[in-house]
Amino acid sequence: MTTTEVINPATEKVVATVELVDAAGTDAAIERAQRAAKDWREVAPGDRARILRRFAEAIDANLEELAQLEVANAGHTIGNARWEAGNARDVLHFAAGMPERLLGNQIPVAGGVDITFHEPLGVVGVIVPWNFPMPIAAWGFAPALAAGNAVVLKPAELTPLTAIRLGELALQAGLPEYVFQVLPGKGSVVGQRFVTHPGVRKVVFTGSTEVGKQIMAGCADQVKRVTLELGGKSANIVFADADLERAAATAPYGVFDNAGQDCCARSRILVQRSVFDRFLELLEPAVQGVRVGDPAADATEMGPLISAAHRDRVAGFLEPSTKVAFTGAMPEGPGFWYPPTVVLPDAPTDRVLTEEIFGPVVAVLPFDDEADAVRIANDTEYGLSGSIWTNDVGRALRVSRGVEAGNLSVNSHSSVRYWTPFGGYKQSGLGRELGPDAALAFTETKNVFIATQ
Ligand code: TAP
């Protein structure tokens, strides 16, 4: 049996040793899930709903333990980690409303009755990255279970602890055995088997665009259903007519939350040229005010990066020639720390502008007018989220419609609510998660005609 050591990124100490599932173990789990799925789809909608509610309540009862586990495993601030466990709970509560609302249509036809059903797919494979282990897992497994599917879930090798605990809580809450299995293991082994095993009927993948493309190509072989949530390079657009003080005070939190390891990070700040210098003056104290340090302390706003390798990768984006405007604080001693960093790119082709850094680095650049702002915002292969700061409601709507991204916020940096749809344009993804239609992504629509003559 292969094992992996789970490291606390704030202390560099080993917090747990986890056994990794191999290819044969993955196949066995998929086959158990196939059998379990047959019974689970027959459970009455109201009973499925009740079990999901109990699962949500079990998370709530263990919320602090789950949050502390995430602080130790992923270096998330305790405030964020509590929100993340609460989000998994809320996503389950929301999904518990779905089994009884999977409504079909009755369509007028001649000579009979025509009705549609939303049938479960069977076994769904969910592949989760390390940046938000609990929420991203729940966005996949909760609606999939609600729609009557069995789920096999692969957490990232770096962050398996909360997913393993969620698997235990599901069983305690009364979810039948093998309906929800957590399989810690390597992406190239367990994740890859989700793609190639014909028993898995859909793959939900969140992670890098590079691996997402391989997953999509692999799924094509069996015309396997796929949802992809991939990278981002989102723009925070600040117009001269905006409340500049608020825009500058909040901008660091729109990009440095979770140490910038957030697919929705607003890692490009576009500022109207007439207020560019003033905005930078206001941004500097805001960035220096971000409290970076011990993630277990209540007041901390930013923790470490996930690993030494990732810190090196982030640092690699800054060339000797990169113009750094200013940086924020960073603790000394052990831990994979990187300070909040503001850079001023020289050209539209600079890597800090074109590539997802996935760390606490933000590029600030000027634009001339509305059309220029939309053009620069869209000058990327990504299209996940973004913010627009203006006090002109017409402009807010025009620019929101013009920016090619799935999740935009005006005078705010919010991206994710479990009851609104979430997902990306272009190479940021395929399909949508969350929102009122979440369960439909885990069903096939079946049309049945019944002759009455
Ligand atoms: P990846 O390296 O792509 O890994 C994501 C997951 O896929 C991990 O569980 C990984 O397993 C697994 N995996 C790796 N290779 C695989 C393969 N060949 N077949 C099947 N599974 C495979 O991404 P990451 O670095 O962990 O996560 C960061 C990326 O996720 C960023 O680009 C970020 O933008 C994106 N992200 C997007 C969103 C949304 S909602 N759009 C949300 C969060 C993150 P192991 O790591 O265990 O090998």
Percentage of the chain modeled with pLDDT above 70 = 100
Q: Are residues 103 and 19 in the same domain?
A: yes
C-alpha 396 to ligand 1 mean position (Å):
33
The rounded distance, in Å, linking the Cα atoms of 138 and 85 is 10
C-alpha 247 to ligand 1 mean position (Å):
31
Q: Is residue 35 assigned to a domain?
A: yes
Mean pLDDT of all residues in 429-448? 98
Cβ proximity of 60 and 172 under 8 Å: no
Tokens 């809320």, residue?
90
- Residue 70: predicted pLDDT: 98
Domain count, the chain: 2
**Digit-coded pLDDT (tens) for 270-304:** 999 999 999 999 999 999 999 999 999 999 999 99
**Digit-coded pLDDT (tens) for 330-348:** 999 999 999 999 999 999 9
Q: Are residues 129 and 220 in the same domain?
A: yes
Q: Which residue's CA is the closest to the ligand 1 atom numbered 13? A: 187
Q: Are residues 80 and 115 in the same domain?
A: yes
Q: Is residue 422 assigned to a domain?
A: no
- Residue 121: predicted pLDDT: 98
The rounded distance, in Å, linking the Cα atoms of 236 and 253 is 11
Pocket test for ligand 1, best of 80, 128, 130 (most atoms within 8 A of CB): 130
Q: What is the CATH number of the domain that holds 66?
A: 3.40.605.10
**Which protein residues are within 6 Å of ligand 1, measured from CB?**
127-132, 136, 154, 156-157, 186-188, 191-192, 206-208, 211, 214-215, 229-232, 263, 356, 358, 384, 424, 428-429
Q: Which residue's CA is the closest to the ligand 1 atom numbered 11? A: 187
Q: Are residues 226 and 240 in the same domain?
A: no
The ligand 1 atom at the shortest distance from the C-alpha of residue 185 is 47
CA 20, 25, 27, 31 torsion-angle sign: negative
User: Is the confidence at residue 426, as pLDDT, over 80?
Assistant: yes
Q: Is residue 194 assigned to a domain?
A: yes
> 59-68, 189-198, 246-255, 410-419 — which is least confidently predicted?
410-419
Q: Are residues 211 and 253 in the same domain?
A: no
C-alpha 151 to ligand 1 mean position (Å):
18
Tell me the CA distances in angstroms from 226 to 146, 202, 433, one per residue in order.
Answer: 18, 6, 12
- Per-residue confidence band for 414, with pLDDT thresholds at 50, 70 and 90: confident
User: Is the confidence at residue 33, as pLDDT, over 80?
Assistant: yes
> What's the chain's average pLDDT?
98
Q: What is the CATH number of the domain that holds 295?
A: 3.40.309.10
Full domain range(s) for residue 128? 3-230+428-451
For helices 45-61 and 133-146, the axis angle rounded to 10 degrees is: 160
Pocket test for ligand 1, best of 203, 206, 216 (most atoms within 8 A of CB): 206
User: Is the confidence at residue 245, as pLDDT, over 90?
Assistant: yes
Q: Are residues 240 and 331 in the same domain?
A: yes
User: Is the confidence at residue 22, as pLDDT, over 80?
Assistant: yes
- DSSP-assigned letters across all residues of 74-109: H---HHHHHHHHHHHHHHHHHHHTSGGG----EE--
On the 0-12 / 13-18 / 19+ scale of CB atoms within 10 A, 281 is exposed
User: Is the confidence at residue 415, as pLDDT, over 90?
Assistant: no
- Residue 136: predicted pLDDT: 98
C-alpha 34 to ligand 1 mean position (Å):
25
**Digit-coded pLDDT (tens) for 80-139:** 999 999 999 999 999 999 999 999 999 999 999 999 999 999 999 999 999 999 999 999
Q: Is residue 358 assigned to a domain?
A: yes
Q: Is residue 34 assigned to a domain?
A: yes
C-alpha 166 to ligand 1 mean position (Å):
20
Q: Give the predicted TM-score (pTM) of the model.
A: 0.97
The ligand 1 atom at the shortest distance from the C-alpha of residue 229 is 41
C-alpha 66 to ligand 1 mean position (Å):
22
The ligand 1 atom at the shortest distance from the C-alpha of residue 231 is 34
Q: Are residues 224 and 370 in the same domain?
A: no
Mean pLDDT of all residues in 224-244? 98
Percentage of the chain modeled with pLDDT above 90 = 99
Q: Are residues 225 and 240 in the same domain?
A: no
Q: Are residues 220 and 295 in the same domain?
A: no
164: three-class secondary structure by DSSP: helix
C-alpha 156 to ligand 1 mean position (Å):
7
Q: Are residues 200 and 61 in the same domain?
A: yes
Pocket test for ligand 1, best of 87, 200, 230 (most atoms within 8 A of CB): 230
Q: Is residue 225 assigned to a domain?
A: yes
Q: Are residues 366 and 319 in the same domain?
A: yes
263: annotated active-site residue:
yes
- Per-residue confidence band for 210, with pLDDT thresholds at 50, 70 and 90: very high
Among residues 70, 157, 229, 433, the one annotated as catalytic is 229
Q: Is residue 102 assigned to a domain?
A: yes
Q: Is residue 423 assigned to a domain?
A: no
Q: Are residues 137 and 279 in the same domain?
A: no
User: Is the confidence at residue 1, as pLDDT, over 90?
Assistant: no
User: Is the confidence at residue 184, as pLDDT, over 90?
Assistant: yes
Q: Which residue's CA is the closest to the ligand 1 atom numbered 34? A: 231
Contacts of 339 (CB under 8 A, 6+ apart): 292, 327, 328, 329, 330, 360
